[in-house]
Amino acid sequence: MEGAATPLSFPPEVFARLEPDIYLQRHLELGLRPSGLRAFDEFRKATIQASEPLPGTLGSAVISVGGTTVVCGITGGITEQKGKHGVYPNVEVIRGTRNGPPTQEEMVISQRAFQLLNNTDYIDPVNFVIPGAEKTKWLVLSASVQVLSRTGPCFDAVWTAIITALKNTRIPQMEVDPDTKQVVSDLSTVSPLKLSDESASLDQFSSTFAIGEVQKDQKTVVIADIEGETEEACLNSRINVVTSPSGLLTGLTIAVTSSNATGINKGIQVSREHIQTVLASARKRASELATAPVS
C-alpha cells in the first residue's frame, strides 16, 4: 500500500520507558513479570548480616534483598523530656541529590516505621528508664537507616533492617555520675532489649504486594515484592502486611487506586480470596525471614 507507515520497533528497555503500561500488560498476559524470572507470588531472596555492630552503634544490620541494600545503625541518647523515650527511625534513600529536605518517600517510610514501632508494646518501657534518674532522664534510641541501593519500593527491606538491628542491640548499663549528674554508660556490661512479656517478639516482618490486572482476561492478580521501574510505576494498588510468623498482625494497609488498565475504569476487583492469599503469603514470608541465616 502506498504511504503506509512502517511500524516502529524499539528494543525492550526503550519500549518499557515509552509505554510502561502496555509493557506490563504484555508480560502479565503471559504470566511473567517485567522485573525478571520470578513467579507472581515469589519474593526475592534476602540476606541478613548482623553479626557485629558497626563501630559507634549499639546494634546494626545490613539487609540486601535483590539489588536493594539497606543499612541500619542504632545509637543511644538521653532526653529530659518526659514521655519522649522510644525508638526514632529516620530513613534516608541515597539518590545522588544535594543535601536537602527529605523526599516524600523518605518521610512516608520513616513515619510508617515510627508508627509501627510505637503502636506495639513489644519493647518494654523499662528499657528506657535510667536507674538513679527515673523521673528526670530517659533513654532514646535512634535507628538511622540508609538505603544504599534502591531497585523499587523499599519499605520491606527498611523494616527488616530496623527489626534485625533492634534484635541485635545491646543496651549498656547506665548510671548517673554523682558529681556531674550526667549519665555514664558502661559498655562492658550490656543487655539486649527487654520485651514486655514472653509471648512478645520482635519478629514482625513486612511484605508488600501489588494488585494488578490482566486486561485481556479481565482478572486481578496479586504480585509480591515488586521491583524495577515498570512494576513500581504501573502497579499503584498495594497491600502491605506486617505480621509475625504465627500470623499476628501489627500492620495492614490496603491502598486501591482506580483502575486505568482496563480502559473502562470500573475499579479493581479485590476479592476475599485475594486478601486471604496475601495474608497467608505474608505469614510464610515472615517465617522465612525469621529463620533466615544471619551472617
Partner 1 sequence: MSVLQDRRRVLPPVDTIPLQFKEDEGSSGSKETTIARTRTIRPIFIKQSVVANASGSAYLEVEDIKLQCSVYGPKPIRGSFTQQADLLVEAKLPSLGQDASNDKSASIEKDITSFVQTSITPGIILTQYPKSCINIMITVISADLENRNFKSLLAAATNVASLALVDAGIALYDIVTSASVLLSRNENGESLYFDPETPRESEDIEGVLSFMTGQDESNIVGMWLDGENITSKNLTTLTESAKEAACQIRTLFNGVILQEFHDKEQEASNSK
Q: Which residues bind partner 1 (CB under 8 A)?
A: 54-57, 67-69, 71, 73, 75-81, 84, 88-92, 94-99, 101-102, 106-107, 110-111, 113-114, 140, 142, 144, 146, 148-151, 172, 174, 182-188
Nearer to partner 1, 51 or 182 (CB): 182
| H-only helix segments in the chain | 12-18, 20-29, 104-119, 155-167, 228-234, 272-290
Shortest spacing between CB 269 and partner 1, in angstroms: 33
How far is Cα 290 from Cα 287, in angstroms, rounded to an integer?
A: 5
Nearer to partner 1, 113 or 282 (CB): 113
Nearest to 151 by CA among 203, 222, 227: 227
Nearer to partner 1, 42 or 232 (CB): 232
Shortest spacing between CB 294 and partner 1, in angstroms: 18
Nearer to partner 1, 91 or 211 (CB): 91
Question: DSSP string of 240-264?
Answer: EEEE-TT--EEEEEEE-PPP-SSSS
Shortest spacing between CB 72 and partner 1, in angstroms: 11
Give the chain's end-to-end CA distance (angstroms, integer).
Answer: 66
Shortest spacing between CB 85 and partner 1, in angstroms: 9
How far is Cα 121 from Cα 180, in angstroms, rounded to an integer?
A: 33
Nearer to partner 1, 71 or 286 (CB): 71
Shortest spacing between CB 54 and partner 1, in angstroms: 5
Residues 6+ apart with CB under 8 A from 251: 112, 116, 119, 204, 206, 240, 241, 242
Nearer to partner 1, 81 or 265 (CB): 81
Q: Give the three-state DSSP class for 278.
A: helix
Shortest spacing between CB 149 and partner 1, in angstroms: 4
Question: DSSP string of 92-119?
Answer: EE--S--S-SPPHHHHHHHHHHHHHHHH
